[in-house]
Structure 1
Amino acid sequence: MKIATAKQIRELERRAIQELGIPSILLMEQAAMQVLKHVDLSMSYFVVVAGRGNNGGDGLALARKLRVLGKDVDIYYLCADASGSAEAVMNLNICKNMGINTYFLHEEADLWDLREAINDADVVIDAIFGIGLSRPVKGIHADVIEIINEMSRCTISIDVPSGIHADSGEILGTAIRATKTVTFFCYKKGFLNYCSVEYCGDIAVENAGIHQELINQVGSAEYLIRHETVTGLIPRRSRTGYKGDYGKVLIVAGSPGYTGANKIASEACIASGAGLVTVSSDPRVMELISDHVREAMTVHPDCIEEAVAGSNVIAFGPGMGNNEDTMLLLIRIIKKLRAEGKSDTVLILDADGLNVLEGQTDLLENIGVRIILTPHFGEMARLTGLSIEEIKKNRMDICKKFARRHHVTVVLKGHNTIISDGVTCFVNPTGSSAIASGGMGDCLTGLMAGLAGQRLAPIEAAIAAAYIHGRIGDELAKSRYAVTASEIIAKIPFELKRMVQEEGASEDR
């Protein structure tokens, strides 16, 4: 599913109207039908707050449909009179002819009735501003938004929560805090800004009447990861396959006080189906790790070069410590990779494998292998020299620029993890704060390494690992308050099997 800007959506709608001959009023009708799918029809009283543009028209069309279904509906129209876009005015007149109560909001005195209505309403429909908003919200519009936020039990925003810039995600003075946002055609780029996350609620993307072929022509190289995409990436295991067919992965992780990092990464890698897993760590904890991860072989750091030569994936960094020893070991691994010259080898750098690169990202150049970096915001800030706030405001572009400059795949972890190879960006829709706990990054690294070992390209391994990791967490979170890395690991083989079976069933159809 593509991620688009407001300009791209406007161009899509222009083409639908001019090239396909779809009247704009019909697009509005389809938009209302799609929003209706997300309305709890067990509720009885709805308040539609509409602006005078086409977003307001969508809300007015929805008001008509709710009234046809026998619901009590009141309309509050943010204008002094019945003016607005042609489509909005047409729908407003139909609503009035149907006997739907319509109130005009123009001055402060008009807000008393609105307060009472919203206080009584089961659901409020936000149709004030759409994707075109670019100026700060002021005056009565700001007052209305604040009243909705203060008093509404459930708010559904049409296309974009009013007050949010559709491209940047910036809060333009004030914005609706939606329970749910139903957006059209494509995921909006502004939804990815951390500023807007708390305002959008659950986001649903619906097609408001334009055929998919035209939507696919939207000029964007940014995508929301789809479940079907991931099921198609999971390796199928041959009946005659043996362990050498499924990857030789070296995991270098852990140190005194952080032995769990190696254990978690190794177990996640093994659970993903990797054929042979070798672990290396600080000599002081090697024996302890060996006792805990019995399916993996061990190698002393003094012999790391030999292990590197025999592996097609190396995951380096979790729990190692941001110190000179970690840097020196990474340099040894890089030198060996350069000497080997095996371009299909994958090097995954996580945690302290990234921290030691602060100010030394030139070490990533000319290694001759495919590289995946898995930073969280703090690590990305150290790699780029930008502040965490700067990164949060423009995650996708910063991620893509860094990946392109250093010829790597970047997995920028967080809510809606961003994945980029410098050309394309993917956004992960799975995961929640239920998996915000120690060891989750180590688990993700191990899962990613295992999938890369099974010959997925770096961008594919990153997409699949992020999606599966978050999806398992989402399923577990349905029955518990918080989820641990060990619980994720236990579910990995079952989730992979389920996805393979889903893909097989799809092929049979």
Structure 2
Amino acid sequence: MRVVTAAEIAELDRRATEDHGIPVAQLMDAAGRRVAQAAEVLLRERGGRRVVVLAGKGNNGGDGLVAARHLRGSGAEVTVLLAAQKQEFAGEAARALAAAAEAGVSLHVGDAEQHQSMIAKADLVIDALFGTGFRGVARGEGAALIEAANRSGRFILAVDIPSGLQADTAIWDGPCIRASATVTMGLPKLGLVLFPGAEMTGALYVADIGYPQALLDAVPIATWLVTAAKVQALLQPRRPDTHKGTYGHVLIVAGSVGFTGAAVLSTMGAARGGAGLVTVAVPQAVYPVVASKVTEGMATPLADDGSALGPSAMARVDELLASCDVVAAGPGLSTAPGVARVIEELLGRDKPLVLDADGLNVLAGRADRLAKARSPVVITPHPGELGRLLKQPTPKIVDDRLGAARTAAARFRCVVVLKSAHTVVAKPDGEAAIVRTGNPGMASGGMGDVLTGALAALIGQGLAPFDAAVAAAYLHGLAGDLGAQEIGQVGLLASDVADRLPHAIRRVQAGLQVDPIHELRD
């Protein structure tokens, strides 16, 4: 499912009218009917028939007024609180206002105290104040209605996007509706699926308002949501006449004194991710510990400096490369000089490479070396690590994760998996995917190590690097969700997530996984 910016949805609206002859009034009526459809479902589930619509003077308000008219026709008790004087409404919004009044919808404007009382008595509040074109800070009556709705504790259904939230950046600079659910028109907007905006969105409904498929296919949209169906298409069923060599040999270079767990967890991630064989190469100093912990993987020692990889470790790594299909390097390695040497050498070898953690940290200040890699590279940074690679402060990365991931992918000519709530996966041509699986219980040590191993395993099984990154991020998050459902978020361990990767894979392959997006269509 593709995700759009405010400019992209405006272009869809323009071309729907100019190229396909769909009047703005028809699009507005379709949007309003879908809002009413969702509202009817919510009212049945929650009980009650009292609806208060907060309507701005633009097309978003027009959508809300159409919904109010339809709900009135179905027997709901509907009141509309206007954020502007009636004479300020223009175009299709003015026509929607007149139609609502003619249908007997109660319209009110300008009495803040009365508005607060009406909102407090509603069974459902519909927010139709500001739409995807909103910029800046909500002020005046619009701001007052936002604050009143949020204070009320009522169930709020936002029209297209919560009022006050910016569609492209997922941020807000003033009052912003905290929606319980959002009906978005045509396609999801970036601000609804990226944080922090995602926490203001609530349950997400995507409404079909009649865009022709030819139009949707003609407008280039570079961002999409990863769905279970997409991942299912990437995971091919296993044939009966196969063996361990069929599913790839993963080489993991990881660990140092004090960080043996990273090597073990990345090995678990690869094994649970379906790799046929996993070799884990670690500094000699920690080899006995790792070898005693790794049962399904093959541990092997590398030359070290007493705690971390030494400069001569690459000789043995080269021997191991001869029989492997993909390399994952970085978890727990430290930033010792020998580590930097090994990572530099791996970039010059002809094996696909997954880099995480210290495999990235040793490239800080010389990250452009990634663009010169001999084979495909996937990097899996968190915002702090990506900030070091791009020489930008972490808050700047967090403020625009999608843009940062795209910038890094283009600059370093590699696939970027920017780990965070709703992970972003980007590739050099600008295509990007947003992964909505995962939960706060995964904010603990070792989770990234499991992802690194699983990602390498999928590359070893034949997936292209970008596809492997998308699938691994989705399955890793889903495994975390399954773990949280079973044992809770607090105390969820990275090993719990690794152990549930096969369950996640099975659910997706069997078509049992349902994504938390509700589609509204006829």
> Would you call these one fold, judging by a TM-score over 0.5?
yes
- Cα distance, 1:100 vs. partner? 2.3
Q: Is the alpha carbon distance of 1:441 and 1:75 closer, same or farther for their aligned partners in structure 2, counting shifts above 3 Å?
A: same
Write out aligned runs for 1:54-453 (5 A): 54-81=59-86, 83-105=88-110, 110-191=111-192, 194-302=195-303, 303-334=316-347, 337=349, 342=350, 345-423=351-429, 424-453=431-460
Counterpart CA distance in 1 for 2:373 and 2:169 is 36
- 1:416, 1:429 within 8 Å by CA — same for their partners in 2? yes
Deviates more, 1:370-379 or 1:118-127: 118-127
Tell me how far apart the structure 1 counterparts of residues 73 and 444 of structure 2 sit (CA, whole Å).
Answer: 48
Is 1:502 the counterpart of 2:511? The answer is yes
Q: What TM-score does the superposition give when structure 1 sets the normalisation length?
A: 0.91
Deviation (angstroms), 1:178: 1.6
Distance 1:133 1:365, change over 3 A: closer
8 Å CA contact retained: 2:52, 2:80: yes
CA drift of 1:71 comes to 2.2
CA distance in 1, matches of 2:127, 2:67: 11
Looking at structure 1, the residues matched to 201 and 95 of structure 2 have their Cα atoms a distance apart, in angstroms, of 29
Q: What SS does the aligned partner of 1:285 have? A: helix
Deviation at 1:33, TM superposition (A): 3.0
Unaligned runs of 5+ in 1: 504-509
Query: What TM-score do the two structures reach when normalised by structure 2?
Result: 0.89
Q: CA deviation at 1:373?
A: 0.4
Q: Structure 1's 448 and 27: CA in aligned 2 closer, same or farther, altered over 3 A?
A: same
Amino acid at match of 1:387: P
Q: Given the superposition, is the C-alpha separation of residues 382 and 299 from structure 1 closer, same or farther in structure 2, using an over 3 Å criterion?
A: same
| Corresponding letter in the other structure for 1:400 | R
8 Å contact 1:47–1:123 — kept in the other structure?
yes
Q: Which amino acid aligns with 2:484?
A: A
Residues in 2 aligned to 1:489 and 1:135: alpha-carbon distance in whole angstroms: 43
Letter in 2 for 1:325: G
One-letter amino acid matched to 1:391: I
One-letter amino acid of the structure 2 residue matched with residue 327 of structure 1: A
C-alpha spacing 1:128/1:323, structure 2 compared with 1 (3 Å): same
Deviation at 1:192, TM superposition (A): 5.5
The CA distance in 2 between the partners of 1:14 and 1:476, in whole Å, is 45
Task: Give me the whole-angstrom Cα distance separating, in 1, the residues matched to 2:105 and 2:482.
Answer: 42
Equivalent-residue separation in structure 1 for 2:462 and 2:488 (angstroms): 36
1:195 Cα deviation from its structure 2 partner? 4.4
User: In the aligned structure 1, how far is the partner of 2:33 from the partner of 2:474?
Assistant: 30
Distance 1:33 1:255 in 2: 60
**Residue-by-residue CA offset, 1:455-492 (whole Å, 9 max, x unaligned):** 11110000000111112323343354313222222222
* 1:234 CA drift (Å): 0.8
- By how many angstroms is 1:284 displaced? 2.3
Cα deviation, 1:435-454, whole Å, max 9, x if unaligned, reads 22221111111110110100
Asked if the contact 2:277–2:297 (Cα under 8 Å) also holds between the matched residues in 1, the reply is: yes
Of 462-471 and 182-191, the range deviating more from structure 2: 182-191
2:322 maps to amino acid: A
Residues 457 and 36 of structure 1, relative CA distance in 2, 3 Å threshold: same
Pair 447,195 (structure 1): closer, same or farther in 2 beyond 3 Å: same
Structure 1 match to 2:499: 490
Look up the match of 2:477. Answer: 470
Deviation at 1:291, TM superposition (A): 2.1
Are the equivalent residues in 2 in contact too, given 1:348–1:373 (CA < 8 A)? yes
CA displacement at 1:317 relative to structure 2: 0.9
Q: Cα distance 1:314–1:204, how it changes in 2: closer, same or farther (>3 A)?
A: same
Residues in 2 aligned to 1:231 and 1:454: alpha-carbon distance in whole angstroms = 15
Shift in CA distance, 68/477, structure 1 to aligned 2, threshold 3 Å:
farther
Q: Report the CA distance between 1:86 and its aligned residue.
A: 3.0
